[in-house]
Chain A
């Protein structure tokens, strides 16, 4: 029943939404300097992909897509833990989380 309800919304809408979310995420990564905001933007991109996977899974009546969604959520959780730890370490070292200060690895 629920599937039928969901299918009343055309698939294109999900694709548009995901694309917009993904683009926002990319822009956030590109434009913002705060490491935490960038991190959040990355999460946004991940979730855009997850949403798309779930949508396709429903429309095609194939559970495999939703299995992948769970995988992504688990990996993302682990990644957040590691990423935040790195940010904490950066902050301890340079008393800032502005990524433009991290430019020592160059010629």
Chain B
């Protein structure tokens, strides 16, 4: 059965080819069915492989398709690695991906680029599958670039809007910076291990001592790649802008799958990272800073998708913190649950936007629970899940990460992360209450148009809500008696790292304390939100109202975009202009034009030699002959 795994990425590829070539010749209904079925087929194959891994019969398998690059001593095969980790990712990508495909049929129904949209989506799923299934870093890199391309295409999907195009370019360029780090990392890996395949690299790495410089360099470079793809400080600014794309894209690419590629890559390279404690510290602090920083921005945003975008950045920060303390399973666990509830939240937001005729400002919403009952219920579940209310999915995965941070650095990380968690709950409930409670604040036309979304939209919402509810049981904490299912499942992948790292198990008391405090704080926040936004009808101030400087600073995202503009973009532009003026116009053009001018000038001068006087020609001939004679006489 596992030998059929190579089919998994083939289906979306076929879907992409059919939709890409057929474009306008295929009806919308058929296009939606083809695209969804392609992803569903991949999902079914993935599911069929799962039992073997669950009962331990199947071992990690490499499926070799063909030899790809043979150059000198370098042999890179095009092969897939199917193991517990890649299978988990495959199931998330195709499972959540399938739901989002179904959702898109309803959401994109009136868009003229419907078929193009589905072609891109299938291409994305194909690239993402390549990324997680590749058995070496080069295949991973193809997928890595492929998803970057699809992200670009889909952010700029409505390409007639220049702002959206700019957002797409920003995402692409910022990812490029990270990709360069990733690429250099791969070069260094090849130079060190003379191979890029995971099996050989990790086998070779085991011979290195912990903290070896070359391993630290490799891991740092790979982490730069992860920073770009997974939107960490300082390369995160593209993700909030990426919300320009259609909402299903935000859900699939910029919340559930692509942005987690960095997490997957580090989890995949866990052996290297375990050998580089210094890099782990860097990962930890970058993750922590991002989680905290993005959460503060999320507190004051008024665009429903922007709040969720900063929330995504923040949650990705959580996962990096987990990776930084060596909790690879916890990171993958949070990745999984986050894929469920963040996809749910984005799709819910999409449903709201759909009902509001494209309005995204939460100041203009309110009271929507009456009009959108299913969206309301599912969004509530998503909010509870991301805030970490037991027993929803986010509670287990987030508290697991929190528990891991107890101890080192005098609990400072734990405290900051807990505080971030509180902020997460704050901005999520603010968003939730502003959208669904209070009175409606939009225009009459919008109110008249309010309606619950069609079934293609609500069914994926309900399925994801179910997953967000039960997803947490994949990893029950030790105190609740159950075995940590995901931990056992992924154990073979993280074997080496777990032995080296000796994960800290917090005391029972601490775990209970975390849970109780979390529940109390969350209850407080919910009551505060109900009081503030439902009873008092408080609404965030309009953009032109003066607010306190700190609030203003945060509302404008700490002016990070402006700072980047001033210290990087402007100087680079200046450099560019200078080079254009001096190097391009003066030196290069001067050289090229100079050659032309020299030829013309010498032609003009030399043609005067053609006098037409025969005597002169003969004289020249005789003089020439004499010169040759003299040369032969004296020189040779």
Q: Which residue numbers of A lie inside 8 Å of B, CB to CB?
A: 26, 29-30, 33, 99-100, 102-107
**Does B610 contact A99, Cβ atoms closer than 8 Å?**
no
What are 18 A-B contacts defined by CB distance under 8 Å?
A: A26-B622, A30-B615, A30-B619, A30-B622, A33-B615, A99-B614, A99-B615, A100-B613, A102-B614, A103-B611, A103-B612, A103-B613, A103-B614, A106-B610, A106-B611, A107-B607, A107-B610, A107-B612
Give CA–CA (A106, B613) in the complex, Å: 8
0/1 per residue, B516-559, Cβ < 8 Å to A? 00000000000000000000000000000000000000000000
- Shortest CB–CB separation between residue B605 and chain A, in angstroms? 11
Using Cβ atoms and an 8 Å threshold, which residues of chain B touch A106? 610-612
Q: Which of B597-629 contact A (CB under 8 A)?
A: 607-608, 610-615, 618-619, 622
**Does A30 contact B618, Cβ atoms closer than 8 Å?**
yes
Name the residue of chain A whose CB is nearest to the CB of B606.
Answer: A107
**Does A100 contact B618, Cβ atoms closer than 8 Å?**
no
- Shortest CB–CB separation between residue A11 and chain B, in angstroms? 19
Leading 4 A-B pairs by shortest Cβ distance: A106-B612, A103-B612, A107-B607, A106-B610
**Does A107 contact B608, Cβ atoms closer than 8 Å?**
yes
Give CA–CA (A26, B622) in the complex, Å: 8
Give CA–CA (A26, B615) in the complex, Å: 11
Give CA–CA (A105, B611) in the complex, Å: 8
- Shortest CB–CB separation between residue B606 and chain A, in angstroms? 10
- Shortest CB–CB separation between residue A53 and chain B, in angstroms? 19
Using Cβ atoms and an 8 Å threshold, which residues of chain B touch A26? 622
Using Cβ atoms and an 8 Å threshold, which residues of chain B touch A104? 612
Using Cβ atoms and an 8 Å threshold, which residues of chain B touch A107? 607-608, 610, 612
Using Cβ atoms and an 8 Å threshold, which residues of chain B touch A33? 615
Name the residue of chain A whose CB is nearest to the CB of B614.
Answer: A99
Give CA–CA (A33, B615) in the complex, Å: 8
**Does B622 contact A105, Cβ atoms closer than 8 Å?**
no
Name the residue of chain A whose CB is nearest to the CB of B607.
Answer: A107
**Does B618 contact A29, Cβ atoms closer than 8 Å?**
yes
- Shortest CB–CB separation between residue B461 and chain A, in angstroms? 85
The secondary structure that dominates the A interface is loop
Using Cβ atoms and an 8 Å threshold, which residues of chain B touch A100? 613-615
The secondary structure that dominates the B interface is helix
Using Cβ atoms and an 8 Å threshold, which residues of chain A touch B607? 107
Give CA–CA (A30, B615) in the complex, Å: 6
- Shortest CB–CB separation between residue B313 and chain A, in angstroms? 74
Give CA–CA (A29, B608) in the complex, Å: 23
- Shortest CB–CB separation between residue B203 and chain A, in angstroms? 78
- Shortest CB–CB separation between residue A23 and chain B, in angstroms? 10
Give CA–CA (A92, B615) in the complex, Å: 21
**Does B612 contact A105, Cβ atoms closer than 8 Å?**
yes
- Shortest CB–CB separation between residue A103 and chain B, in angstroms? 4
Give CA–CA (A35, B171) in the complex, Å: 84
- Shortest CB–CB separation between residue B500 and chain A, in angstroms? 85
Name the residue of chain B whose CB is nearest to the CB of A27.
Answer: B622
Using Cβ atoms and an 8 Å threshold, which residues of chain A touch B611? 103, 106
19 more contacts with CB within 8 A, not counting A100-B613, A103-B612, A107-B610, are A29-B618, A29-B622, A30-B615, A30-B618, A33-B615, A99-B614, A99-B615, A100-B614, A100-B615, A102-B614, A103-B611, A103-B613, A103-B614, A104-B612, A105-B612, A106-B610, A107-B607, A107-B608, A107-B612
Give CA–CA (A105, B616) in the complex, Å: 13
- Shortest CB–CB separation between residue A25 and chain B, in angstroms? 11
- Shortest CB–CB separation between residue B255 and chain A, in angstroms? 76
Name the residue of chain A whose CB is nearest to the CB of B622.
Answer: A26
- Shortest CB–CB separation between residue B611 and chain A, in angstroms? 6
0/1 per residue, B110-145, Cβ < 8 Å to A? 000000000000000000000000000000000000
Give CA–CA (A105, B607) in the complex, Å: 12
Using Cβ atoms and an 8 Å threshold, which residues of chain A touch B610? 106-107
Give CA–CA (A100, B614) in the complex, Å: 7
- Shortest CB–CB separation between residue A48 and chain B, in angstroms? 15
Name the residue of chain B whose CB is nearest to the CB of A32.
Answer: B615
Give CA–CA (A49, B611) in the complex, Å: 31
Q: Which of B312-328 contact A (CB under 8 A)?
A: none
Name the residue of chain A whose CB is nearest to the CB of B604.
Answer: A107
Give CA–CA (A104, B614) in the complex, Å: 10
0/1 per residue, B573-615, Cβ < 8 Å to A? 0000000000000000000000000000000000110111111
Give CA–CA (A29, B619) in the complex, Å: 9
Using Cβ atoms and an 8 Å threshold, which residues of chain A touch B618? 29-30
Using Cβ atoms and an 8 Å threshold, which residues of chain A touch B608? 107
Give CA–CA (A34, B608) in the complex, Å: 25
Name the residue of chain A whose CB is nearest to the CB of B608.
Answer: A107
Name the residue of chain B whose CB is nearest to the CB of A29.
Answer: B618
- Shortest CB–CB separation between residue A78 and chain B, in angstroms? 22
Using Cβ atoms and an 8 Å threshold, which residues of chain B touch A29? 618, 622
Name the residue of chain B whose CB is nearest to the CB of A103.
Answer: B612
Give CA–CA (A30, B613) in the complex, Å: 11
Give CA–CA (A99, B611) in the complex, Å: 13
Using Cβ atoms and an 8 Å threshold, which residues of chain A touch B619? 30
Name the residue of chain B whose CB is nearest to the CB of A26.
Answer: B622
Using Cβ atoms and an 8 Å threshold, which residues of chain A touch B613? 100, 103
Give CA–CA (A106, B611) in the complex, Å: 6
Using Cβ atoms and an 8 Å threshold, which residues of chain A touch B612? 103-107
Give CA–CA (A4, B210) in the complex, Å: 106
Give CA–CA (A97, B614) in the complex, Å: 13
Give CA–CA (A105, B614) in the complex, Å: 9
Name the residue of chain A whose CB is nearest to the CB of B625.
Answer: A26
- Shortest CB–CB separation between residue A90 and chain B, in angstroms? 11
Give CA–CA (A107, B613) in the complex, Å: 11
Give CA–CA (A17, B47) in the complex, Å: 110
Using Cβ atoms and an 8 Å threshold, which residues of chain B touch A30? 615, 618-619, 622
Give CA–CA (A33, B610) in the complex, Å: 19
Name the residue of chain B whose CB is nearest to the CB of A33.
Answer: B615
Give CA–CA (A75, B607) in the complex, Å: 35
Give CA–CA (A107, B609) in the complex, Å: 9
- Shortest CB–CB separation between residue B244 and chain A, in angstroms? 65
Using Cβ atoms and an 8 Å threshold, which residues of chain A touch B614? 99-100, 102-103
| Interface-centre pick from B615, B618, B622 (highest chain A CB count, 10 A) | B615
